[in-house]
Structure 1
Amino acid sequence: MGSGSSDIDVVVFDFGDVISRTPPPEDQKAMQEVAGVAPEDLWAAYWSERRAYDRGIEAVEFWRRVARRVGAEWSSATVHELWALDVGSWIHVREDSAHLLDRLSGDGVRLALLSNAPRDIAGALRHSPVMRPFEALFFSAELGRCKPEPEIYEHVLSELGTAAERTAFVDDREENVLAAQRFGIAAHRYADHAGLESFLDDHGLLGARERA
């Protein structure tokens, strides 16, 4: 549909690894140095507890669980530094994605965000200039649900007041894309910027104002 009107009313974007860049190695190295434990142990513990963090437990509890898994006794100052480094590592934005969001918004395309993210990152993003074009921001920690659980998609569709077949969804994880497709949502797995632009153009979302 690249040359015609759009069949989509709203585009729902994931944040991590779609709008944001993967946490850079220097941020991860800094966390490892602060943690003072074997990197493989730190990241195994971190990812084992991350789902609960994304679902809504507080940062102090998340880092307490990580510390218990790695056998560490971190001071409150150390936990604060780990927390600050972690939050910062997830909010490095892709310039091409930010430009595309401004372009879509300028063309009158409705935008929403659906991210598996803890409250700390959600709070930061609510004040981010890159989030300015979005009419709604949905975060797993605030909803008590994580993608790809079906209830989170139902909630987003209900809140946006849009039909599944007139909703587009962009995410980098296959399981999240497949879950959206089961609802009849036009979902795209993000791999690169060119592929994302092609998907949006196929649905008549690029240059919509010029074609109107």
Structure 2
Amino acid sequence: MITTIIFDFDGVQVIGLVGVEAYFRGYIDPHFQLSDFEGDELEQVYRGTLSEDAYWQALINKYHWNASVPQIKAIIKKGVQEIPGTRQIIETLKRNGYRLGLLSIHGREWVEHYEQTFNHHRLFDATLYSYEVGLCKPDPQVYEIILERLRARPEESLFIDDNLAYLEGARKIGMATLQFTSAAQLKHDLGDLGVRLHERYYISCAIEYLIDSNDSL
């Protein structure tokens, strides 16, 4: 039986870089691809060994962008949006008594911004970001650490991510997994696994109403 559910952040709760191409126009090479953000420097940010400012400055120097670090950071922040429906699912799971965790690959500065903007961390019983431990998914240790923080066993835990490689890492230590594509799909798949998604509050109210009605007879 699943007692613990662990969520990824990017691609599950928020989607990043939405519309940034339009914002970037006039600042960077029009042939620049979003995949060019990835590389050794980004890996260092995720592991907590390189600051966000140093990362953006490295890209500015490498690609000769006509932009400053503050301008680039402002553009990136504009492109982050919450994925509709996911928060509501998490809130329902929380009300229904599941232990909830967050496991995400992120640098310190991005985490601070996201927590201030979305306040998502308050939904979870435990969180783990890659920069805290210098490890990234799919390293088995990151899954083991978040399970330890949640005091959960892998065979009773479910990991939700949009990245198949990261799901495979969770499966290797005995966790169940679901690939996220949309909130509607997630709700359906959770139901198939027997995860409770009904609202206990409304059921409790209905029971109380029936009891009161019987007492009045």
TM over 0.5: yes
Query: CA shift at 1:96, angstroms?
Result: 0.7
Alignment of 1:126-141 (within 5 A): 126-127=115-116, 128-141=118-131
Change (3 A) 1:44 1:22: closer
Note the residue ranges of structure 1 that are not aligned, 5 or more in a row: 1-6
Equivalent position to 1:51, from 21, 26, 43: 43
Note the residue ranges of structure 2 that are not aligned, 5 or more in a row: 205-217
Residue 40 of structure 1 aligns to a residue in which SS? Answer: coil
Q: Is 1:205 the equivalent of 2:190?
A: no
RMSD: 2.2
Amino acid paired to 1:162: A
Q: Is the 8 A contact 1:42 1:66 kept in 2?
A: no
1:13-61 CA-to-partner distances (Å, cap 9, x unmatched) read: 0111111134312x3321343xx23133364542223222222210121
Change (3 A) 1:163 1:199: same
Identity %: 23
Q: Is 1:8 the equivalent of 2:2?
A: yes
Give the equivalent residue in structure 2 for 1:175.
165
Query: CA shift at 1:152, angstroms?
Result: 1.0
1:117-168 CA-to-partner distances (Å, cap 9, x unmatched) read: 1112211233333332211221112221111111211211122111101111
Alignment of 1:29-40 (within 5 A): 29-33=22-26, 36-40=27-31
Instruction: Return the TM-score normalized by structure 2.
Output: 0.81
Change (3 A) 1:54 1:87: farther
Q: Is 1:21 the equivalent of 2:8?
A: no
Instruction: Return the TM-score normalized by structure 1.
Output: 0.83
Query: CA shift at 1:112, angstroms?
Result: 1.2
Q: Is the 8 A contact 1:42 1:70 kept in 2?
A: no
Q: Distance in 1 between matches of 2:119 and 2:28?
A: 36
Equivalent position to 2:69, from 60, 65, 79: 79
Change (3 A) 1:116 1:9: same
Residue 126 of structure 1 aligns to a residue in which SS? Answer: helix
Query: CA shift at 1:62, angstroms?
Result: 0.4
Q: Distance in 1 between matches of 2:131 and 2:30?
A: 26
